[in-house]
Structure 1
Amino acid sequence: MKKWAVAMAAFLLLLSGCTSKEPVKKTVKEEKPNTKHENKPEDMVKAYPYFYPLTGIGTDTKPDQRAVAVMVNNHPKARPQSGLNKADIVYEILAEGDVTRFLAVFQSERPAKIGPVRSARDYYINLAKGLNALYIAHGYSPEAKQLLESNYVDNLNGMVYDGTLFKRSSSRKPPHNSYITYANILKGAEQKGYTMKKSPSAFRFYTVEESKDLTGQEAKSVNITYSKSGTFNSKYQFDETLGKYKRFSAGEQTVDLDTGEPILLDNVFIIEAVHKVIDSYGLRDIDLQSGGKAYLLQMGKVNEVEWANKNGRIVPMKNGDEIPFVQGKTWVNVVPTNPGLHTSVSLSAQ
């Protein structure tokens, strides 16, 4: 009887252990989205480990340097300019009256000298902010001065550093003779404690093969009217041999002062924005937030698109989708809604 009781107890203990045992739960590892190649063309993923965020061009080294945005003078007495041929993106916008000015953005290349440097406007500052760029100017409008003095954007200004970081050329007269070297930009950033790391967010780019198959209306040249006199009018001519656009101001080709190298572009993006004159001097308030009509010229073809401001960056759009750029350099022209894109811009298949 005792042996039977012991055996029964052992059996019940074993049964209890089996029934109370819960199934083993497997830990499922959460998959994180792969953002390593975000906005990176597939052909570049295969060919290079990295690419420049503002041009889409591949590189073997990580491009973690900060962008630099420089106000460049476009007065006839300032032409030809220095350094524009090295810019990844240039924004051409009216500064006052019918006078245009450039915001030249450098990230993939570093020109030895840039200029002539000219004064700031608030809408140029906002563009630089959207690219997390160090902003360089010599002078400012009242609105721009408020932004700069409030440290809205990291900046170096010739009003503070004239004769030190900024140098005057003896071959030109003020205000068309202020220049800055890239070495002095880095020196000024170090003096003010600005970091020169962290590259801007990348634009979207076509693969090389996709660029060859782009469709659109034939447009080998485009003329943009900014002034009745023609002094500040811009022209782009597509070179079939080079597969790039040459740029002209008032009929004269835009080249680098120091090297004679021409401006060669892969994208010409022309956008229409609301302009309002805000004083008797002709200073303007320009709406670069609301979006609107645009032309995008690539590979000798043009498409009518829209533009949008995405986190401070002006991008081409179509039916709600962002359109990629061709890999290379880009020039963005901003024209007023009055008289409008179709009046200000003349396209030709020749």
Structure 2
Amino acid sequence: MHAFRAKRPVAVSAVLSALLLAAVAGCRGGSPGGTAPTSSGARAHVLAVKIDNVGPARPQTGLGKADLIYVEQVEAGLSRMMAVYSSSLPPVVGPVRSARETDLELLRQFDRPTLAFSGAQSKLLPAIAEAPLDPLTPEKDPDAYFRDSDRAAPHNLYLRPARASHTTTGANAAEDIGLRFAAAVPGGRALADRTVRYPAASFTFTWSAERSRWLVSMDGTPARTADGARLGAADVVVQYVTVRPSLYRDRWGSTSPYTETVGSGSAVVLRGGKEYDVRWSRPSADSTTAFTTSSGERMTFAPGQVWIVLAQK
């Protein structure tokens, strides 16, 4: 892990603080038929962190500890990640960046998750304040954040989860939303690698039999953790969705894309050197996402970290 030095205080925004400290009622989550319990019977209390993913933000810190990593398209065709933690928390996560409208619907699969992020488009702040989640921002919990003087802003803001108000149950966030870790289902096609392209970003997943992982490359370059290890996933889901313009724009006037994660469609699951064609279904925002095979079976996953790449259908 790279060294962190000279922690500079994080600026406080009175408007953001007021909005995000608003009381939020209600819990969400569950499978299409109701709540999705974990193997321990308790819902996971997840920490979701918005992760920067442009060149100056790499290598990221703390991704290897996530149960789930979501990849979504943002402005200018670039990508951003949301790392979801529950089984364990890393000492440091980042760089942390701003939230998007897509995140609010995606996170309703979980039971009142904590969302760590740094800022958002001003017109989106009321929606964040009303969402069934606990915001964890530098304004709300400044002791949990610091800036790394070795990097240029805004790609240098990091979270120390242990200093935050969030507590975790230790349940697996992937199991919490209904993903089943079990022996592989029949079928599948042998696959060496698969690339998913956004307008200005790409992800390639290459099977390594030696490591039993799909090694990750971003924009044609092998992706590594802050301590130099290759990023790798036990399973990858390429979920084909509708990506459309939202009502929001960034500070430079670019329209923020909105990724629709409620509905149904096709997906591809990469597991154990094979790819499987599956269907995804999420009837409502209060439902979790089910992945099923052509025969109607639930898709099974290999134990380990799952990446879900939300790709334009």
RMSD: 2.5
What is aligned with 1:270? Answer: 238
In 2, Cα distance between equivalents of 1:312 and 1:78: 33
Shift of 1:309: 2.0
Equivalent residue letter for 1:222: R
CA contact (8 A) 2:76 2:254 kept: yes
How many pairs were matched up? 266
Q: After superposition, where does 1:1-350 map in structure 2 within 5 Å?
A: 66-132=45-111, 133-142=113-122, 144-150=124-130, 152-161=132-141, 164-185=143-164, 188-189=165-166, 196-197=168-169, 199=171, 201=176, 203-207=178-182, 210-211=183-184, 214-227=186-199, 232-257=201-226, 259-278=227-246, 279=249, 280-309=253-282, 311-319=286-294, 320-337=296-313
How high is the TM-score relative to the length of structure 1?
A: 0.69
In 2, Cα distance between equivalents of 1:315 and 1:89: 15
Deviations 1:290-322 (A, max 9, x none): 121111111111112111226443332234443
How high is the TM-score relative to the length of structure 2?
A: 0.77
Deviations 1:5-36 (A, max 9, x none): xxxxxxxxxxxxxxxxxxxxxxxxxxxxxxxx
CA contact (8 A) 1:117 1:178 kept: yes
Shift of 1:118: 0.5
Cα separation, partners in 2 of 1:72 and 1:167, compared to 1, 3 Å: same
In 2, Cα distance between equivalents of 1:304 and 1:149: 38
Structure with larger RCO (C-alpha < 8 A, sep 6+): 2
CA contact (8 A) 2:50 2:81 kept: yes
Give the 3-state SS of the residue equivalent to 1:149 in structure 2. Answer: helix
In 2, Cα distance between equivalents of 1:131 and 1:151: 12
What is aligned with 1:347? Answer: none
In 2, Cα distance between equivalents of 1:100 and 1:315: 24
Equivalent residue letter for 2:53: N
- Alignment identity in percent? 21
Equivalent residue letter for 1:246: L
CA contact (8 A) 2:144 2:161 kept: no
In 1, Cα distance between equivalents of 2:84 and 2:244: 25
CA contact (8 A) 2:65 2:85 kept: yes
Give the 3-state SS of the residue equivalent to 1:255 in structure 2. Answer: coil
Runs of 4+ off more than 6 Å: none
CA contact (8 A) 2:290 2:298 kept: yes
In 2, Cα distance between equivalents of 1:159 and 1:103: 20
Structure 1 gap ranges (5+): 1-37, 41-49, 51-61, 190-194, 338-350
What is aligned with 1:53? Answer: none
In 2, Cα distance between equivalents of 1:64 and 1:281: 38
Shift of 1:203: 2.6
Deviations 1:205-240 (A, max 9, x none): 343xx23x7531111101111135xxx210001001
Give the 3-state SS of the residue equivalent to 2:108 in structure 1. Answer: helix
Equivalent residue letter for 2:301: F
Equivalent residue letter for 2:298: E
Structure 2 gap ranges (5+): 1-36
